[in-house]
Amino acid sequence: MLDSMRAATQTWLGRAIMTIVMGFIILSFAVWGIGDIFRGFGANDLAKVGGTNISADAYRYAYQTELQRLQRQLRRAVTNDEARAFGLDGQVLSRLISEAALDQKARSLDLAISDQQIAKTIYNDDAFKDAAGRFDKLKFDGLLRENGFTERSFVADQRGVYLRRQIADAVSADLEVPKAMIEALNRFQGEARSVDYVVLPATAAGEIAPPSQDVLEAYYKVRQQNYRTPEYRKLVVLALTPTKLAETQQISDEDAQKRYDEVKAQRYETPEKRTIEQIPYPDEASAAAARAEIDAGKSFDDLIAERKLTPKDVSLGTVTKDALVDKAVADAAFSLPEGNVSAPIKAQFGTVLLRASKIDPASTLPFSAVAGAIKQELQVVRAKREMNRLHDEIEDQRASGKSLTEAAKSVGLEPRTIEAIDSLAHDKTGFPVPDLPNSLALVKAAFASDVGVDNDTLSTPDGGTIWFEVAGIDPARQQTFDEVKPQVEKAWMADETAKRLTAKAADWIKKIAAGETLASLAAEGNLDVKHANDVKREGAAGLPAPAIAQIFNVPVKGAESAADGDGRIVFQVLESTVPPLNEQDPSLKKLVDQVKGSLTNEILGEYVTQLQKDLGVSVNNQALRAASGTAANY
């Protein structure tokens, strides 16, 4: 499975999925190593952690929740096979086992959290606050829906999260990165080196005589696997997508205007906003006295200062009228001229004076500004309707025995014929086949099919449909020496050049170590010595990545070489400087925080591992296979 995960993360999809998988709410540090002991399980028990059973239903629910969350993130369907290839099933089981172990530990420590504390914690969570920093119930409900929670299930889940977090904080909250490690990080991040270097071009290898036939054939024989053609398949493809179909839809100005009128209030009208401040008073008399002081010449800001209030204490934010819960306050605030102070207002929680510091008037985007976007929206809507009709007609034709080409032409569409495509979606030139929607899914399905097979349709990210047929198969084969002789000779020449340059560079390095200068060696070959200052590990202008790595692998005054395209670089490190340690440096602090996070995860991982060993963990592999559809044991 680890091999599968490593292979999967070589693609952008794999990296995206692994990033999401490793972003569980807590305990993403959960480790593998779950015991494979089958004993004493109930009919619905999938795993045991000490005295706690994890049911197959609980596992299925957790797995489906994470799978749906993943699909929402990627905005496309993810099959169970794909999810398992990336280890989602194992990650879910590992998380459930870790949580069960920590929950038992929390119970043994009599840890608890009240409903009031849970509510307060949720209320103060930044994830649920609006732009003004206040708890937003609509945002809260929306995030819960997106992540597959009801309010009840979320509160129950968070109760466990907060208790587990108490244990995690007790284990690692006081962790400090050792000073020696901080110094090492500062040295690693800030060290700068200056180097002299010479670029040995390919011509520095000297004249290389063409190889004999026997030499080339021997070279080819050792490297035959480099000269195999992949399997190619000829495909007939019909892609029906809303995006492409939308381009054929004509939308009149009248239809666009009608849609504009329907949605103008919700989408194109910006209500008036005001920046409101309020000073609360214990009673109406105190507020009236303060208002009288304003009438006598005192300012609203003077009243704020006298009462020792801060701007944060008096600010209600920049809000629309309907955002103010108290109707009396809303009516008064939105009737004031800009900069004016209200009369005393009897609010729900006392009497207040209000000031409208700034007014942002209501505005409406004119039709002319949004007509293009509305027409595109209507094009997509109509395209989806048309697509449904075309989809049904094509499926009817295919069900009657028509080929994909015949079915497509019957509804006025022309399928695309791809003469040759390999399993990486490349053509015979080695370049990706252009304009191929959902290409990776298509080639995966095509290479799992065969000529004459009636294939299932595929979906595109924008909700379209792809039909395909395999029209021919050109099997993978070993190319003969005669077929690839020019490529073999070119590869041999490149290898021979690299060998000679490497030997020449090694000779120079020995001479430099013996006391010769890089400048004198360069002069012998009529080559220029170049200089680079402030070379850091993240790179330097004019130097390739292999050279940067080597520069920091040799001591000061040391010399080494590195590949540089068709040539080779020989360099000598002149000096190294490390900036003084400044623990307040933002970039260093960020690096230290990352290291601290890694150390914290390691410590917590070790703690959870030991906790699992102490409690005992066993997995019912038969139930696991039934719940996840995998043949793997854990």
pLDDT at 119 over 90: no
Distance CA 415, CA 88 (A): 37
Instruction: Write down the pLDDT at residue 33.
Output: 31
For residue 19, pLDDT beyond 80: no
- With respect to residue 264, please indicate whether it lies within any of the assigned structural domains: no
Question: In this structure, are 165 and 21 located in the same domain?
Answer: yes
The DSSP H or E segment spanning 359 is strand 350-360
Stretch 458-480: mean pLDDT: 91
- Please state, for a pLDDT cut of 70, what percent of the chain lies above it: 92
User: What confidence score (pLDDT) does residue 30 get?
Assistant: 36
Which residues, 6+ apart, have CB-to-CB distance to 578 below 8 Å?
186, 187, 190, 191, 192
Both 39 and 160 in one domain: the answer is: yes
Res 450: pLDDT: 95
- Residues 109-131 have a mean pLDDT of 82
The per-residue pLDDT for range 503-518, each reduced to its tens digit, is: 999 999 999 999 999 9
**What is the domain-level CATH number for residue 236?**
3.10.50
**490 or 148, which is more confident:** 490
Q: Which of 62-66, 133-137, 222-226 is modeled with the greatest confidence? A: 222-226
Tokens standing for 487? Answer: 């490529």
531-572 pLDDT per residue, tens: 999 899 888 888 999 999 999 999 999 999 999 989 999 999
Q: What is the DSSP string of 582-619?
A: -TT-HHHHHHHHHHHHHHHHHHHHHHHHHHHHHH-EEE
**Is 334 a domain residue?**
yes
Domain co-membership, 57 together with 197: no
Last residue of a domain, one of 457, 475, 493: 475
Average pLDDT on 378-402 reads 87
- pLDDT, residue 27, reads 37
Q: How confident is the model at residue 470 (pLDDT cuts 50, 70, 90)?
A: very high
Q: Is residue 138 part of a domain?
A: yes
> Same domain, yes or no, for 504 and 412?
no
Q: Which residue has the higher pLDDT, 301 or 461?
A: 301
Query: Does any domain span residue 466?
Result: yes
Does pLDDT of 42 surpass 60?
Answer: no
Q: What is the DSSP letter of 202?
A: G
Do 600 and 176 contact (CB within 8 A), yes or no? no
Do 21 and 80 belong together in one domain? Answer: yes
Span 170-206, pLDDT tens digits: 888 778 889 899 888 888 888 999 999 999 999 999 9
Q: Is the pLDDT of residue 23 over 50?
A: no
Q: Which of 361, 394, 417 is the last residue of a domain?
A: 361
Strand intervals (E) in 161-314? 192-200, 228-229, 232-240, 269-270, 273-281
Q: Using the 3D structure, point to which of 331, 361, 391 is the last residue of a domain.
A: 361
Chain-centre distance of CA 494, in angstroms?
39
Clarify whether residues 112 and 223 are in a common domain.
Answer: no
Taking residue 173's Cβ as centre, other Cβ atoms within 10 Å add up to: 10
Is pLDDT at 35 greater than 70 in this prediction?
no
**Residues 313, 405 within the same domain:** no
Number of domains in the chain: 4
Q: What is the mean pLDDT of residues 464-487?
A: 94
Exposed/middle/buried for residue 333 (C-beta within 10 Å: 0-12, 13-18, 19+): buried
> What's residue 36's pLDDT?
32
Q: What is the dihedral of CA 577, 578, 584, 590, to 10 degrees?
A: 110
Please indicate, yes or no, if residue 129 is contained in any of the structural domains.
yes
CA distances for 248 relative to 232, 254, 380, 382, angstroms: 33, 18, 10, 10
Say if residue 456 is in the same domain as residue 498.
no
Please say if the pLDDT value at position 305 is more than 60. Answer: yes
State how far the Cα of 275 lies from the Cα of 294, in Å rounded to an integer.
20
Confirm whether 8 is domain-assigned.
yes
Q: Which phi and psi (to 5°) does residue 495 adopt?
A: -65, -45
Q: Are residues 155 and 6 in the same domain?
A: yes
Q: Which residue in 362, 369, 358 sits closest to 333, CA to CA?
A: 358
- pLDDT band (50, 70, 90) for residue 11: very low
CA distances from 509 to 37, 228, 347, 558 (A): 59, 39, 84, 9
Instruction: Report the CATH number at residue 332.
Output: 3.10.50.40
502 and 447 share one domain: no
Sign of the dihedral through C-alpha 178, 179, 182, 188: negative
**pLDDT (0 to 100) of residue 204:** 93
Domain membership of residue 253 (yes or no) is no
* Average predicted confidence (pLDDT) for the chain: 85
Same domain? For 220 and 236 the reply is no
Same domain, 432 and 524: no
Q: What is the pLDDT of residues 592-634, one digit of tens each?
A: 888 888 888 888 889 889 999 999 999 888 888 777 765 445 5
DSSP conformation class of 578: -
Q: Is residue 584 domain-resident?
A: no
Range of the domain at 237: 232-243+372-475
Tell me: pLDDT of 340 over 50. Answer: yes
- pLDDT value of position 629: 65
The CATH number that applies at residue 102 is 1.10.4030
